[in-house]
Amino acid sequence: MIRSCLPHFLEIHKTMLLQMQIPKRINYRLIQSLHHSKVGIQAPTFGRETDDPFYVDVPKPRRRKSDRKPYPTPMKVLIRKAREEKELRKAHPCRLLEHPPDDDLLIHELISVAYQVYRTRESLLVGIPKLIQFIPVLRCRFCFEVHTGPVGHQIRTCNGPKSGLRRAMHVWRKGDVQDVIHFPKCYHNYDRVGKPRAVHNERYTVQCIPAVVELCIQAGVDLV
Ligand SMILES: [Zn+2]
């Protein structure tokens, strides 16, 4: 009895398994048909696969994970622009040293201030040597300490080389105008619009001028 019922039981079990797999197959076929059909649901393109001019600058997504992340501006375009700028610089070397910037870059209220600063620097350079002739200025040989007067002070604040051997006493010598007032220098910017910064190869051709003068020139002082 048991032996006769066993094949029947196996058939029932098989049909049950097939009925359970049918919905999965139907679902798989539906997905396949939607995926391959032209009318099916498509992912939003956001204008990348179309010729929409609003999305021209948007980089295209990577198709594979191994692809490199795209630059906003293609590297070939950047290289081409750099070459064009380099050739342009060679064709048009530096302009006059004291050429003021274009009028669009100036703040008109600051032009008078710039002239005032420039004249003040000139008066300093003229007036300080006259004062030093009668009022001596002393400068330490080993540090940046400056003293105004005929005899240097004895305050032990020297931090120059081997100051420990002197018990931090300064060693005074006669000072100069540059010990009283110092103007640090910077590279002159010839063209702020076309070429905002100098490159390393121009370190011997671009001139260094006092930073105060450069500041006045960029603010509108015309020294020509
Ligand atoms: Zn010193």
**3-class DSSP string for 185-204:** EEECCCECCCECCCCHHHCC
Please give the pLDDT value at position 168: 95
198 inside domain: yes
Give this complex's ipTM.
Answer: 0.98
Q: Nearest 5°: CA angle at 221, between 113 and 224?
A: 155
Cα of 137 to ligand 1 centre, how many Å? 14
What is the number of domains present in the chain?
3
In this prediction, residue 117 carries a pLDDT of 97
Question: Phi/psi at 25 (nearest 5 deg)?
Answer: -65, -40
155 and 54 together in one domain: no
Distance 171 CA to ligand 1 centre (A): 6
191, part of any domain:
yes
Looking at the fold, whether 192 and 86 belong to one and the same domain comes out as: no
Residue 19 lies in a domain: no
Q: Which domain holds residue 154?
A: 137-174
Residues 144 and 212 in one domain: no
Same domain? For 220 and 205 the reply is: yes
Tens-binned pLDDT, residue by residue, of the chain (224 aa): 444 444 555 565 555 544 555 444 444 444 454 444 444 445 455 544 556 777 777 777 777 878 777 777 788 888 998 898 888 777 766 554 455 555 567 788 899 999 999 999 999 999 999 999 999 999 999 999 999 999 999 999 999 999 999 999 999 999 999 999 999 999 998 777 667 788 898 899 898 999 999 999 989 898 87
Same domain, 170 and 185: no
Residue 9 lies in a domain: no
Expressed in angstroms and rounded, the spacing between residue 125 Cα and the centre of ligand 1 is 25
